[in-house]
Amino acid sequence: MRRHVATRDSVSRPTPTLRTGLHTLLGAFLCLLLAGCGFHLKGATPVPFETIYTNINLDTEFGVRLRRTIQANSPHTRFVDNRRQADVYLQQISNDQRLRQLSIDADGRVEEYELALSFIFQVLDREGHIILAPTTLRSIRDIPYNVNVVQAKENEITRMFNDMQISLIDQILRRLSAPEVRAAYQNAAQQPSAPIPEDTPVNRSTQPGWIHQLPNGGRM
């Protein structure tokens, strides 16, 4: 069997303008196709509520990504600044970050820490009915430590805790879009009630609590 081999001179190539036009048309076609199929991110289901109020700081990296993730999977859902205007209140109850010593060298200096993050949240409707009871998400990671570069390690620990928190976003979305949450929201009047918290944002301390668990309180 013979194969036809095209030489460079025998093949006519589309001009850059033509290629750009073809890519644009192809992109538009794919967008229409995906929209017609009701495309959303893999494994995600739209949340059942249209407006959300939260005490999570939406200006932080965690807050920005949380909002984007929810809205990417639920385009009809938006965040509002007033709890009384929201269908539900997504309340961060606690965000506990702790360090634990894992190993110590012969001189008694810490060589490795365990980072433990515990994030607790709940969802209430505007009347205080419990749509999602307090739920705890946890993440644990290990990190080597060097007492000679305290400032660099503090920054690394801070970044790692931020990454751990962001890694919980998919779990938060799965909880919010779970069938039992949808059923609870649709039958909210039959759910138990809880006191509605004040419209106060999460306390944003300028210094994390774990800093005091480092040698000399994080200072050389």
Residues 20 and 120 in one domain: no
CA-closest candidate to residue 128, choices 179, 188, 72: 188
Question: Residues near 21 by Cβ (< 8 Å), separated by ≥ 6?
Answer: none
- Asked if residue 121 is part of any domain, the answer here is yes
What is the strand order of the sheet 78-79 is part of?
78-79, 51-54, 88-104, 110-125, 130-144
pLDDT reported for residue 173 = 95
Residues 104 and 181 in one domain: yes
CA-closest candidate to residue 114, choices 137, 145, 136, 150: 145
Q: Low-confidence residues of the chain, pLDDT below 70?
A: 1-44, 199-209, 212-213, 215-220
pTM over cut 0.75: no
Residues 122 and 33 in one domain: no
86-138 tens-digit pLDDT: 999 999 999 999 999 898 888 888 889 999 999 999 999 999 999 999 999 99
pLDDT reported for residue 215 = 67
Residues 138 and 200 in one domain: yes
Distances (CA, A) of 117 to 75, 96, 104, 111, 175: 30, 6, 22, 20, 18
Residue 82: CA atoms inside 13 Å, Cβ hemisphere, count?
2
- Asked if residue 7 is part of any domain, the answer here is no
Maximum distance among all Cα pairs of the chain, rounded to whole angstroms: 80
Residues 29 and 115 in one domain: no
pLDDT reported for residue 18 = 46
176-186 tens-digit pLDDT: 999 999 999 99
- Which secondary structure element, helix H or strand E, spans residue 53, and what is its range? strand 51-54
Side chain identity at residue 60, one-letter code? T
Range of the domain at 35: 14-43
Place of tokens 């779970």: 178
- Asked if residue 36 is part of any domain, the answer here is yes
Domain total for the chain?
A: 2
CATH value at residue 158: 3.30.160.150
Residues 99 and 188 in one domain: yes
Residues 113 and 31 in one domain: no
Residues 94 and 82 in one domain: yes
Residues 144 and 175 in one domain: yes
- Asked if residue 31 is part of any domain, the answer here is yes
Contact 114, 140 (CB under 8 A): yes
pLDDT reported for residue 190 = 93
Residues 78 and 29 in one domain: no
Contact 167, 115 (CB under 8 A): no
- Asked if residue 163 is part of any domain, the answer here is yes
**Ramachandran category for residue 56: left, alpha or beta (phi over 0 → left; psi -120 to 50 → alpha):** beta
- Asked if residue 171 is part of any domain, the answer here is yes
Distance separating alpha carbons of residues 127 and 89, to the nearest angstrom: 10
